[in-house]
């Protein structure tokens, strides 16, 4: 059994003494796990990260990080974790110097800092701007520097609050791959994102927070099975009255949509539907030009869990 590196019990938080923005969160995170926090704007993701990283104390509840209590051992915890915050903050000196300062803060020797800086400039594609003042960097470069400097020290848990915002596609993939490599070496990751494909790519377990409450917490596979709902089967059929065709198929009219020459059907049994449509099309001497079954995605799960309409168009 892997050990729990984070144990959060009944966290409640209010900023104004009236409204609870976190309302009784309980969860455990294991060593080496990639734990994704998902939820709409204002759901409470950043507040959760701030509590787990000891930036703020929760109004109620207990949190234990790597065996330390957030209320008593903030300093010990901060030595062992890394944090990339949602809002960038940066020292206004050269890129190299920024990294060097961080290395010093973490007590690295000059030699260690030099090696680490070279490695990180390469990984985060900052070699060309190494002498530039951070104030003159583009938004994406600044974000890369902000993430790179966190890796100046070794840590047990890394917290990332929407790390890929502002990064281009190539850099985003580089970062995700770099994170994956570190996870294979035992690093635990807690991160938030609005990019569901990113969560799919990285996360072992996903937590969906809505209005300060956990509404789902599970592996992606289990969430898809539980909340993924129906799958979409789409047919392209030319020169046939599709509403007539739809009437020939035994399915709830709410689950059928017609869009020009496309017949879109929501179903739990796509293969039965395909058979029925083929039969019906045969009867009217038509031809299916093309068909597509869309698998459940994390987006389907997300919309189902937070109770939004799942539009099939
Ligand atoms: N410093 C603060 N003072 C007062 N209210 C705050 C403060 N920070 C956050 N809030 C409120 O707490 C709630 C949760 O905010 P939080 O930043 O945790 O959301 P989030 O899930 O990270 O959202 P986003 O996806 O937009 O980053 C929101 O209603 C927000 O307005
Ligand atoms: Mg946030």
- Taking the centre of ligand 1 as the mean of its atom positions, its distance from the CA of residue 206, in whole angstroms, is 20
Q: Does the pLDDT value for residue 236 go beyond 60?
A: yes
**Choice from 43, 88, 207 to test ligand 1 binding pocket (greatest atom count within 8 A of CB):** 43
4 CA distance to ligand 1 centroid (A)?
27
Which is more confident, 255 or 35?
35
State which residues have CB under 5 angstroms from ligand 2, the bound ion: 45-46, 86
pLDDT band for position 7 (cuts 50, 70, 90)? very high
Which mutation among 13, 17, 19, 21 tests ligand 1's pocket best, with the greatest number of atoms within 8 A of CB? 21
pLDDT at residue 60 tops 60: yes
User: What mean pLDDT do residues 106-134 have?
Assistant: 94
CA–centroid distance, residue 46 to ligand 2 (Å)? 4
So what's the pLDDT on residue 140? 85
What is the average pLDDT score of the chain?
A: 90
Q: What is residue 133's DSSP assignment? A: B
User: Does pLDDT of 20 surpass 60?
Assistant: yes
Distance between CA 144 and CA 164 in Å, rounded?
A: 9
Ligand 1 pocket member 42 (CB < 6 A): yes
Residue 51 is given by DSSP the state: H
Q: Using an 8 Å Cβ cutoff, are 6 and 28 in contact?
A: yes
CA of 89 to the centre of ligand 2 (A): 15
Q: Give CA–CA dist 168/165, Å, rounded.
A: 9
What pTM does this model have? 0.81
Check if 212 has its Cβ closer than 6 Å to any atom of ligand 1.
no
Question: Is the CB of 50 inside a 6 Å radius of any atom of ligand 1?
Answer: no
Query: Which residue CA neighbors atom 10 of ligand 1 most closely?
Result: 15
Q: Does the pLDDT at position 239 exceed 80? A: yes
Domains of the chain, earliest start first: 4-219 (3.40.50.300), 230-295 (3.30.70.980)
For the four alpha carbons of 122, 126, 127 and 133, in that order, the dihedral sign comes to negative
What pLDDT is stored for residue 308 in this prediction?
64
């Amino acid at each position: 059994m892997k050990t729990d590196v984070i144990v959060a019990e009944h966290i409640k938080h209010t900023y104004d003494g009236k409204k609870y923005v976190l309302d009784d969160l309980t969860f455990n995170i294991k060593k080496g796990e990639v734990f994704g926090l998902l939820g709409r704007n204002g759901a409470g993701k950043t507040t959760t990260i701030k509590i787990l990283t000891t930036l703020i104390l929760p109004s109620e509840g207990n949190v234990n990080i790597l065996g330390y209590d957030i209320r008593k051992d903030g300093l010990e915890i901060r030595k062992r974790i890394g944090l990339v915050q949602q809002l960038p903050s940066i020292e206004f000196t050269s890129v190299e110097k920024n990294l060097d300062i961080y290395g010093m803060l973490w007590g690295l020797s000059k030699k260690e800092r030099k090696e680490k800086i070279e490695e990180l400039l390469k990984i985060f594609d900052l070699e060309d701007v190494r002498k530039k003042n951070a104030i003159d960097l583009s938004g994406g470069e600044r974000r890369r520097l902000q993430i790179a400097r966190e890796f100046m020290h070794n840590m047990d848990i890394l917290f990332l609050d929407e790390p890929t915002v502002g990064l281009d596609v190539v850099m985003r993939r580089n970062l995700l791959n770099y994170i994956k490599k570190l996870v294979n070496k035992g690093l635990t990751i807690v991160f938030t994102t609005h990019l569901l494909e990113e969560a799919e790519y990285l996360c072992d377990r996903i937590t969906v927070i809505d209005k300060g409450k956990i509404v789902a917490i599970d592996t992606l596979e289990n969430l898809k099975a539980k909340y993924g709902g129906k799958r979409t089967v789409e047919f392209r059929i030319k020169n046939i009255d599709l509403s007539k065709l739809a009437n020939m198929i035994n399915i709830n009219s709410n689950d059928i949509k017609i869009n020009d020459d496309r017949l879109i059907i929501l179903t739990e049994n796509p293969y039965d539907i395909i058979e029925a449509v083929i039969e019906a099309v045969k009867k009217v001497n038509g031809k299916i030009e093309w068909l597509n079954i869309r698998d459940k995605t994390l987006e389907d799960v997300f919309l189902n869990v937070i109770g939004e309409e799942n539009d099939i168009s």
